[in-house]
Structure 1
């Protein structure tokens, strides 16, 4: 588990600052398989996880959903045959917060686990 995955998410308020572009680069260095994408003008973290079949992807999707519910921080998850796409961003601030990077690292830990 990475250093980032061990960090604690903080409660996020609507006036919380977004992660700066410089900080995004630093944090992404710890998440080499993730990238920042913009959907509807909102920056989000995205990663596609490969699986051999639908059932394995479904099991992973359920693990991510349980992690999200435990933290009260919910991603977009797309389950397809052979892959699961996960996008993290903070809805309250319409962009990326440090919590999103922590949750991305924890998602990787689930996949590797």
Structure 2
């Protein structure tokens, strides 16, 4: 699964009917997205971003929303004064897919 950089890839629609990544596959991809964590035994990715104020958080979340729409892949987002927490997984398979890592790598570029 390595090879092409995650940021150069595009999320592809997941129709379900496939298996989520096993933890060893997810861990191979995790090394390409520093600061992200695999949570709940491989169910989702998580990262917390810190900002200087509420407007910094809001601006980041707005940019993230535009990215998510462009990629057709939508994370769960919680944010407030000085922070944004991102949770990513593929709902159709209730677990991790390469798309989740692609989106995470692109979020890190915002």
Is the shorter-chain TM-score for this pair beyond 0.5, marking a shared fold?
yes
Query: Which residue of the partner structure matches residue 92 of structure 2?
Result: 92
Number of equivalenced pairs: 107
Query: Which residue of the partner structure matches residue 67 of structure 2?
Result: 67
Aligned 8 A contact 2:20 2:93 in 1? yes
With normalisation by structure 1, the TM-score equals 0.88
Task: Show structure 1 runs of 4+ deviating over 3 A.
Answer: none
| SS of residue paired to 1:8 | coil
Question: Which digits, 9 at most, give the CA deviation of each residue in 1:72-105, with x for residues without a partner?
Answer: 2110001111110011100111010100000000
With normalisation by structure 2, the TM-score equals 0.90
Within 5 Å, which residues of 2 pair with 1:13-92? 13-38=15-40, 43-92=43-92
> What is the rounded CA distance, in whole Å, between the counterparts of 1:19 and 1:74 in structure 2?
18
Aligned 8 A contact 2:23 2:42 in 1? no
Structure with the largest fraction of helix: 1
> What is the rounded CA distance, in whole Å, between the counterparts of 1:9 and 1:73 in structure 2?
7
Question: How far does residue 17 in structure 1 lie from its aligned partner after superposition?
Answer: 2.4
Over aligned residue pairs, what C-alpha RMSD do you find?
Answer: 1.6
Question: How far does residue 23 in structure 1 lie from its aligned partner after superposition?
Answer: 1.1
Query: What 5-or-longer segments of structure 1 have no aligned partner?
Result: none
Residues 100-109 or 5-14, more deviating: 5-14
Aligned 8 A contact 1:42 1:94 in 2? no
